[in-house]
């Protein structure tokens, strides 16, 4: 049974930091590219960051330089370190695993940036 379980969300003040985690199970983690997406209320889900099997990373322009994606194959976990958070980063953050034949999504973890 495939599972992607996000954690680490919460309420943080502007300028603060959070680290999201996504624990994967039920598939060969190292064979999948991993991404983070987010969806704010009333908006479309949007791409945030991506890491492929060889460690190449890609970021949305709005988070480049503030967010860092990383993965630990030994723990089957992908992380999103978020620094210098802004109110516009408030959203439900989703983890995605994409392979040659399948794409899986987690249930999301809420990030709220507010004073």
- Specify the pLDDT at position 58: 98
Question: Which residues fall within 8 angstroms of residue 80, CB to CB, at 6 or more apart?
Answer: 19, 20, 22, 36, 48, 49, 67, 68, 69, 93
Whether pLDDT at 75 is above 90: yes
What's the chain's Rg over C-alpha atoms? 13
- Specify the pLDDT at position 28: 92
> What contacts 24+ positions apart, CB below 8 Å, involve 100-106?
102/27, 104/2, 104/4, 104/27, 105/4, 106/3, 106/4, 106/5, 106/6, 106/22
Q: Which of 18, 2, 12 is nearest to 63 (CA)?
A: 18
pLDDT bracket for residue 8 (50, 70, 90):
very high
Mean of pLDDT values over 31-42? 96
- Specify the pLDDT at position 53: 86
Q: How many CB atoms lie within 10 A of CB 97?
A: 23
């Amino acid at each position: 049974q495939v599972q992607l379980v996000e954690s680490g969300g919460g309420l943080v003040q502007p300028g603060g930091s959070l680290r999201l985690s996504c624990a994967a199970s039920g598939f060969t983690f190292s064979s999948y590219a991993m991404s983070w997406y987010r969806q704010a209320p009333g908006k479309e889900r949007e791409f945030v960051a991506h890491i492929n099997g060889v460690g190449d990373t890609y970021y949305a322009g709005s988070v480049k330089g503030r967010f860092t994606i990383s993965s630990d194959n030994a723990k089957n976990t992908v992380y999103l370190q978020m620094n210098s958070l802004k109110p516009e980063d408030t959203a439900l953050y989703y983890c995605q695993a994409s392979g040659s034949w399948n794409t899986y999504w987690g249930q999301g973890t809420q990030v709220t940036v507010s004073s």
